[in-house]
Structure 1
């Protein structure tokens, strides 16, 4: 183009030359369509065939390129418009997807919670089903008339009048009422859902705020730690079992009560939560020391039984843990089920000739304690009887009721005596408040452990114990008087004898042993022999 001598050398020259030729106006734009028209006009006016064909070819190519460009532009415009309209719809669809995902997660969590609740209710149903046979009332017993009292029965019942009992009613197994069964069930369920936590009050990291707000904050902190431990336990179980659908454990404290003995009583929502908390306290002890201090400890539940006639002069030492392990091995018990076994009376207070004593054995498992009560145990090679430790009122040796001096009523027995009426009344009140006192075993899910002990017979008051029940004069015929040679003169003056008419009976004292041939006066043996001879002659 530099050596070209024509009028067209640049874009400015092109515009001027085209305007001078009147092919384009000054105001028209130089777009692709206008250029195509100029080439087509030049080709039609050209006389050279080759140049004409070339101009037409270039014009058609430019026109095709212009159409492609126009279509592409239209397509881009339509696409941009459509995409602009769809962006709002995509945002709405994304929001709906997030909402559906959150709803799905919430439904999944609710389903898992309902599944855990159903498992808990299933366990409670099984426990209540095991307790149901004990709640039914037994069929009414037929009334059997009591046998007439005889002196043989009275002598067989007791050898001394001071311990005579009312044997007109035969002892029978007592059945618990519905209220008592409900009370025992509530106690058992409460015991399975509670854990006693002790701490050192002298520890600087131990809890110091014992108000309601402090206990609430302590409970919230404890629940946060338990939630972390539940998540860790869930992750470990997934890794071991390889299962994806598992019920997440939930250990939750619903109540935390401060006791006056530097301890907290934690109540959990279920028995599984309480059992899981004891396991966490064993494997993850460091987490709980951050809340309760280094002196924190979990107190095991104790089931106390009494072992009687235990040899106390041998090598057996209940304070030595090896001796307790020996008891567990000899009686096929689980290891560490006997936590302690102190003597009821301190060894320094034993008599010098005392060879046996009573032992209080504390077990941390109710089934172990019930097994010991049922089959007894061997201690030091001796079979030792076992009974359950129950609540009894405190007996005082100085508690003697005063009676008027001018009355013939016998003074009541000391309260240290188990036959004291006041002691029996207090025992009855305790049995009413604590129905488990009347049970032979510690109540569990086994029906046998709900067996109750026979009713305790209430002793008669001393005024009735000294009164005889019958005399033999009503069944004996009139005896002839003894010969004068066999009669012995009284040592002291006697009041004048009252003569009674013939056929009438002389009044006699009820309860005099002389009427039965057993004299209570010295020298009355002859009278006894004469009466026995008269009976044999009749």
Structure 2
């Protein structure tokens, strides 16, 4: 054992000297239980998980059904028990009545299967979907709408609406055309907006604190999992309109043009007159004959 890190909430991280030692503890339940008992009789061992977000999943899928989870593993060729849990990102009771798809979170027990799902896609009810790694994002309090903590740790005396900024719960808001951002102190957008400048700045700070946010895969021994996400491109700028030099061109009708130029025509422009046909019995010179 190399080090033990203790957190405020009471949890701890145990760092082993070698990878083989960590693998040995993971693969031997008896050794794992004995280690936990020596640390604290009430402690539990929490396995590391690898969550993915699957956008546009049909709402007909039931994430709380164990049989549906086992069917999902079988449909994608994964081992039984590969999926640790599945749940909807947004509670089902908050959907609209006409909603057909939603975002699903699938948590895997091993990074290899999660990486293959990101690279090759996931099949749910014969529909191919493309998941992405669940990135670390800044915390925003659902009570006071400020960043850095959650509602149960908030010391504010009352609720602040994420839509209009008034002193009531967001779920009780009846305002549809008024927005206010508590973090920015402006009425340009709501506190939940993804275009909020404060939220964007917090995301950039979070990416610096969690460098794996720039990795689309969970890093393993395989080299292709170390690929990085391209940097954000600059915003699109509309090109200025193209200007052409003015050559004093004027539009005119064809009948005006023919009338104006009719007097300027010379005889060379006129159609040739047809020669009168010779009378019957008149002999014409043959080719090569020069009359005297």
TM-score scaled to structure 2, two decimals? 0.62
Matching residue of 1:470: 240
- Spell out, residue by residue over 1:202-232, the C-alpha distance to the aligned partner (whole angstroms, 9 max, x if none): xxxxxxxxxxxxxxxxxxxxxxxxxxxxxxx
Matching residue of 2:11: 263
Q: Distance in 1 between matches of 2:34 and 2:200?
A: 51
Q: Distance in 2 between matches of 1:471 and 1:356?
A: 41
Matching residue of 1:335: 80
- Residue pair 1:421, 1:459 contacting (<8 A) in 2 also: no
- Match of 1:299, SS state, is coil
Equivalent runs, 1:239-278 vs 2, <5 Å: 253-278=1-26
Matching residue of 1:237: none
Matching residue of 1:307: 54
4+ residue runs over 6 A deviation: none
1:472–1:383 CA distance, 2 compared to 1 (3 A): closer
1:355–1:287 CA distance, 2 compared to 1 (3 A): same
Alpha-carbon distance, 1:378 to partner: 1.3
Equivalent runs, 1:31-110 vs 2, <5 Å: none
Q: Is residue 65 of structure 2 the alignment partner of residue 320 of structure 1?
A: yes
1:270–1:348 CA distance, 2 compared to 1 (3 A): same
- Residue pair 1:309, 1:356 contacting (<8 A) in 2 also: yes
Alpha-carbon distance, 1:368 to partner: 0.8
Greater share of helix: 1
Matching residue of 1:143: none
Equivalent runs, 1:101-250 vs 2, <5 Å: none
Alpha-carbon distance, 1:305 to partner: 0.7
Matching residue of 1:426: 202
- Spell out, residue by residue over 1:38-66, the C-alpha distance to the aligned partner (whole angstroms, 9 max, x if none): xxxxxxxxxxxxxxxxxxxxxxxxxxxxx
- Residue pair 1:337, 1:364 contacting (<8 A) in 2 also: yes
Q: Which structure 2 segments of 5+ residues have no match?
A: 146-161, 163-179, 253-292
Matching residue of 1:392: 137
Matching residue of 1:453: 229
1:310–1:402 CA distance, 2 compared to 1 (3 A): closer
Number of matched residues?
214
- Residue pair 2:57, 2:104 contacting (<8 A) in 1 also: yes
1:285–1:300 CA distance, 2 compared to 1 (3 A): closer
1:481–1:307 CA distance, 2 compared to 1 (3 A): same
- Residue pair 1:303, 1:369 contacting (<8 A) in 2 also: yes
- Residue pair 2:26, 2:32 contacting (<8 A) in 1 also: no
Matching residue of 1:364: 109
Q: Distance in 1 between matches of 2:10 and 2:22?
A: 20
- Residue pair 2:63, 2:69 contacting (<8 A) in 1 also: yes
Q: Which structure would you say has the larger RCO, counting Cα contacts within 8 Å and 6 or more residues apart?
A: 1
Alpha-carbon distance, 1:359 to partner: 0.7
1:262–1:375 CA distance, 2 compared to 1 (3 A): same
- Residue pair 2:89, 2:105 contacting (<8 A) in 1 also: yes
Q: Distance in 1 between matches of 2:9 and 2:199?
A: 30
